């Protein structure tokens, strides 16, 4: 199995074949030169990477960091920090991944009330001290070992980088708290925000950052990516399977590669060549599809209760509610007549908004299901009446 080049053959393919340098990036070829220019300029603006999941945002950020600081940036440590702030002290917990040059924080982990404390305190604390690397002469034996030879020729930039993950999940308060920090500590640090949706990032933050859109990968690009992985892993990838995987992933490169590995493993287990039947849906996709099927099958209180059970199942297994809604909509649109599409989308949008502002996810998902059932039932009744007359 370990025919590939990676050091750890037991890693999933998606990690094993993940590009770590700008030169190895294959998706989004137009974006790579821009990143290289940014890295070579010596200075860096605050950045905002945005785009759908699986498009390669974080891969690009790490490659950019490596370009800036050399391989030392990959020597990371994970820390769990408990911050006590305010009077009376409130505890906010957050896990960070850091190297000598950068730190990754997911402030939204702390929860919607405490994330403000994290952005206020932790980010400020990191930002307000100069990076160690500026004190050490660059090049030569600096940097404490193996990273030295890979360091950029122009020396390391005199600032640290704070990668703020899931910036779109931060509460308004937390985002507001970032504004001053971003302006105040520009001498010592740069912020790199990562967001799936740019619309959830507050406008003042957006205006302080250079926005870099990392779109979903095109089907062709995902196809090439899969072909590359399959070649390196020595797996024969029929075009039909590749096409299925690409469709199922919908521009999410990570999902495509993981899907390829699961399918290949399934094929290997049965000793048959990889075929479309080995491409399976993920557990949560199956469950959501069943819920959608139930909604189309019967429109009654009992049916609604059955759907509710499925929804609880999904949410209880930590599947995000908006993902459930999205999947339901996609599945419903595939199952019912296109004349219902506008209504379905309208209500889905409405309940998507409520999911974002409300607290009990199941209530909103169920309301969507009930609404669809009402619409669909009326349609069925009218159709039956038309057939009768």
Partner 1 sequence: MPPKGSSRKVATIGLTGTSSGAPPAAKKPRTGAPWISGAPPRAGEKDVPEGAPNCLRGLVFCLTGVLESLYRDEAANLCKQYGARVVSALSRNVTHALMGDEPGKAKLVKLEELRAAGKAPAVIDEDGLFELLRTRPGDGPRPGAEPPVAAPAVGMDEGADEEDAVPVPRRKAAATAAVAPIARPSPPAPRPPGAAGNSELWVDKYRPQTMKDLVANPKLAKDLEAWLSGWSAARATERLARAARGGGPAKRGAPKPPENAARAALLAGPPGIGKTSMAHVVARTCGYEPHEMNASDTRNKAAIAGTVADIVLIMDEVDGMSGGDRGGMQELIKVIAATQVPIICICNDDQAQKVRTLANHCYKLKFRRPMVAQARSRLMEIAMREGYRHIDPQTAEKLAESCHGDIRAMINLLQTWRSTSETLSFTDVTERMKAEGKTRTERSPFELFKEFFDGRSGRSVNDRLDDFFLDSDLMPLFVQENYPNASGAAGRPHLLAAAADSISEGDLVNQIVRSEQRWDLMPASGILSAIRPGAMVSGYIGARPAFPAWLGKYSTERKNVRLVKELEMRCKAGTRCSQSARAFRLDYVPALTAAVVRPLTALGAAGIATSVAVLDAYYMNREDVEALVGLCIHAKGNSPMDEVDAKVKTALTRAYTAGDHARSTVSAAHFGVKAVGAAAKPTPVAATAAEVVVDDAEEAAASSDADSSDADDAAAAKQFIKGGGAKGARLKGGKAKAKRK
- For partner 1, the binding residues in 220-249 under the rule CB under 8 A are none
- For residue 124, state whether it binds partner 1 (rule: CB under 8 A): no
Which range in 127-135, 210-218, 221-229, 309-317 contacts partner 1 by CB under 8 A?
A: 309-317
Which range in 117-125, 204-212, 236-244, 283-291 contacts partner 1 by CB under 8 A?
A: 283-291
- For residue 86, state whether it binds partner 1 (rule: CB under 8 A): no
- For residue 18, state whether it binds partner 1 (rule: CB under 8 A): yes
- For residue 252, state whether it binds partner 1 (rule: CB under 8 A): yes
Q: Taking the complex as a whole, how short is the minimal distance between the CB of residue 172 and partner 1, in angstroms?
A: 11
Window 53 to 72, contacts with partner 1 (CB under 8 A): 53-54, 58-59, 62, 66, 71-72
Binder of partner 1 out of 164, 242, 314, 348 (CB under 8 A)? 314
Binder of partner 1 out of 282, 293, 296, 330 (CB under 8 A)? 282
Which range in 38-46, 119-127, 206-214, 350-358 contacts partner 1 by CB under 8 A?
A: 350-358
Q: Taking the complex as a whole, how short is the minimal distance between the CB of residue 375 and partner 1, in angstroms?
A: 8
- For residue 352, state whether it binds partner 1 (rule: CB under 8 A): no
Residue 261 has phi, psi (to 5 degrees) of: -65, -45
Residue 144 or 234: which CB sits closer to partner 1? 144
C-alpha of 256 from chain center: 14
Residue 203 or 269: which CB sits closer to partner 1? 269
Residue 8 or 338: which CB sits closer to partner 1? 8
């Amino acid at each position: 199995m370990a025919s590939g080049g990676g050091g750890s053959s037991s890693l999933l393919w998606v990690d094993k074949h993940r590009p770590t340098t700008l030169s190895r990036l294959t998706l989004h070829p137009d974006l790579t030169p821009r990143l290289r220019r940014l890295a070579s300029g010596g200075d860096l603006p605050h950045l905002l990477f945005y785009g759908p999941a699986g498009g390669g945002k974080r891969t690009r950020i790490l490659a950019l960091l490596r370009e800036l600081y050399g391989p030392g940036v990959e020597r990371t440590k994970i820390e769990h920090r408990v911050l006590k702030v305010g009077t009376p002290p409130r505890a906010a917990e957050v896990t960070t991944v850091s190297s000598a040059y950068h730190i990754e924080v997911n402030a939204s982990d702390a929860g919607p009330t405490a994330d403000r404390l994290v952005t206020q305190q932790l980010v400020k604390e990191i930002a307000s001290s100069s990076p160690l690397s500026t004190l050490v002469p660059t090049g030569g034996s600096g940097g404490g070992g193996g990273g030295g030879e890979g360091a950029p020729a122009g020396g390391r930039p005199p600032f640290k980088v704070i990668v703020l993950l899931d910036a779109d999940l931060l509460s308004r308060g937390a985002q507001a708290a970032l504004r001053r920090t971003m302006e105040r500590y520009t001498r010592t640090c740069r912020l790199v925000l990562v967001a799936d949706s740019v619309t959830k990032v507050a406008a003042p933050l957006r205006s302080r950052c250079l926005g870099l859109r990392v779109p979903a990968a095109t089907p062709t690009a995902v196809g090439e990516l899969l072909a590359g992985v399959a070649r390196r892993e020595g797996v024969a990838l029929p075009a039909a399977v590749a096409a299925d995987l690409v469709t199922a992933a919908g521009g999410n490169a990570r999902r495509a590669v993981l899907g390829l590995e699961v399918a290949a493993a399934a094929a290997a287990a049965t000793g048959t060549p990889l075929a479309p039947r080995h491409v399976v849906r993920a557990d949560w996709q199956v469950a959501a599809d069943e819920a959608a099927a139930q909604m189309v099958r019967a429109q009654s209180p009992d049916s609604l209760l059955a759907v509710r059970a499925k929804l609880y199942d999904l949410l209880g297994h930590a599947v995000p509610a908006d993902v459930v809604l999205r999947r339901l909509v996609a599945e419903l649109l595939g199952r019912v007549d296109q004349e219902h599409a506008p209504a379905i989308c309208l209500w889905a949008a409405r309940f998507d908004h409520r999911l974002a502002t409300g607290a009990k996810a199941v209530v909103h998902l169920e309301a969507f299901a009930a609404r669809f059932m009402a619409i669909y039932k009326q349609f069925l009744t009218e159709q039956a009446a038309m057939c009768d007359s």
